[in-house]
Amino acid sequence: MGAPDNIGPRRLVVGAHYGVKDFIAQRLTAIILATYTLVLLIGILVMPEFNYANWKALFTFHVFALPVGQILATLAFISLAWHAWIGVRDIWMDYVRAVSVRLLLHTLTILWLVGSVAYFAQILWSL
């Protein structure tokens, strides 16, 4: 007997083999997060005094009546959620063999991430 035929329609597909799209998305979200982290660090360093009013100003500054601080923070948090989804989904795909458990974990992860983004948006945009 030879090795099992794992080629074509009868092959066993397991793991997170999503390819280039997710690789690029993971890198883009990492770049957005790194850039936003640098912006926050620079904002903290040039802050005259570290207090609540100045901290709040980091997230609520406007440019020509456009809430740039809130938009950048929202973009960074959505990038964080997307980055986390790709990474955690790949972990579930690679290490959880039972389909029902994997589906449950995917569902719980999505619910947690969507809930986190909604809670973040509620807090940030109510400032």
Residue ranges of the binding site for a ubiquinone: 95
> Rounded to a whole number, what is the largest CA-CA distance in the chain?
76
Exposed/middle/buried for residue 70 (C-beta within 10 Å: 0-12, 13-18, 19+): middle
* Binding site per annotation, positions: 83, 95
- Amino acid in position 84: A
* Binding site per annotation, positions for heme: 83
C-alpha–C-alpha distance, residues 114 and 107, integer Å: 11
C-alpha–C-alpha distance, residues 56 and 4, integer Å: 61
